Amino acid sequence: MNDSAKIKYFPKRSLKAYDGMSVTADVWEIAHNEHRDEMRAHILSMHGPGIICGLEIHANDPADHYVFITPGAAIDEMGRVIVVDQTIAYDFGDEGAGSYMLLLGFAEHEKEITETKVKFMQHEYIIAARQSLPKQPVVELARVTISAKGAAIHDAKDPYQPKADELDLRYREGQADIRGQIRAAVITYPSDNHQVYASWRVLIREMEQLMHVKLIVDMLPDIDDRINNYDMVYIGAAETFEPSATQTAILKNYYNNGKGILMEGLDTNGAKTLKALADAFKVVPADPEKAGFFHEPFFFRIPPEQISAKRLFCGNKCILCNDPLTAPWRGELNEELLHREEIRTNLEWGANLVIYCAR
């Protein structure tokens, strides 16, 4: 949410009272709306939208199509406070196969006390699963991809990589000062390279702690149209592979649309294949020091020690590194353990490359 969206709620006028003025319902409403708007603007500018506390999501045990939402509070993008004051059981049983977002929204309705005829606005909440975002402001609590209608929903065994029918909390809107979100598709050859994935898990935590950037990573089995849903793509190759003409075209179109690609040759054969792939979609070489990833967000004069500038190929938003890139993120290099200082340096270098490719 940008600054202009936050400040638009600040009231630009206030009611001027005078002796003998008629305090009608309209006048009363104007006076109170000024304070409401000022409070909403304060909440947005000083705290921001997201979950304040609670609202934790858990699957039932034993698993079925219910999930449970604990009491808590959140702020929507209009600065309205939404309070859930009791545990809620939400039933996904009527939802068919597909991907859903569990959303929390603000609601209110007019209520009257019969004895006194006094009317007031009752503040409430709405919880619903949707496959797309509604026009009204909402707070996202969780996601889930349902494999079939009535499928049992589980807590994720791996919260960084939830599977079908598991709760995905990676997009959950916490109220911490998260300054951005980056979605990265990670593809390895051979597929499911657990060591590369372990490195990305470390970088996910470090980028949130150091930079307040939420990095969301999905492991994809191969290059296909799904990469278009991501801000950047990482391809790590530890073997020779032959991308089809369709796959090359998909990657070329992705790159030509201004999205970034980070490639790592995990061995000599992989490095040759990735260089040929970069040549196939005509990446124009660029000076790495002038590309920007040496200076933002962390300042470097030279790459980390194990990376040779001669083995670092750079084009506009395309980087090919033929020296170890991701292994040092998890504290390993050539089967040796690294010191904390070396790990930190490589994680900051990795953050620079991710920001460069995704911006």
Per-domain residue ranges of the chain: 50-146, 180-358
The tens-digit pLDDT sequence of the chain (359 residues) is 566 666 777 877 888 888 888 888 888 888 888 888 888 888 888 888 899 999 999 999 999 999 999 999 999 998 899 999 999 999 998 899 999 999 999 999 888 777 777 888 889 999 999 999 999 999 999 999 999 999 999 999 999 999 999 999 999 887 555 568 999 999 999 988 899 999 999 999 999 988 889 999 999 999 999 999 999 999 999 999 999 999 999 999 999 999 999 999 999 999 999 989 888 877 777 777 777 889 889 999 999 999 987 788 888 889 999 999 999 999 999 889 999 999 999 999 999 999 999 98
pLDDT tens per residue, range 248-262: 999 999 999 999 999
Name 128's bridge partners.
103
Q: Locate 81 and state its tokens.
A: 């406070």
What CATH number labels 180-358? 3.40.50.12140
**Per-residue confidence (pLDDT) for residue 44, from 0 to 100:** 82
**Per-residue confidence (pLDDT) for residue 109, from 0 to 100:** 86
The strand ranges marked E within 154-259 are 180-189, 213-220, 232-237
**Distance (Å, rounded) from C-alpha 152 to C-alpha 149?**
9
CA distances from 126 to 109, 151, 165, 172 (A): 12, 23, 23, 17
Q: Confirm if 321 and 265 have CB atoms less than 8 A apart.
A: yes
Q: What 8-state DSSP symbol labels residue 227?
A: G
pLDDT tens per residue, range 293-351: 898 899 999 999 999 877 888 888 899 999 999 999 999 998 899 999 999 999 999 99
**Per-residue confidence (pLDDT) for residue 329, from 0 to 100:** 97
**Per-residue confidence (pLDDT) for residue 177, from 0 to 100:** 57
**Per-residue confidence (pLDDT) for residue 27, from 0 to 100:** 85
**Distance (Å, rounded) from C-alpha 151 to C-alpha 141?**
20
Q: What 8-state DSSP symbol labels residue 338?
A: P
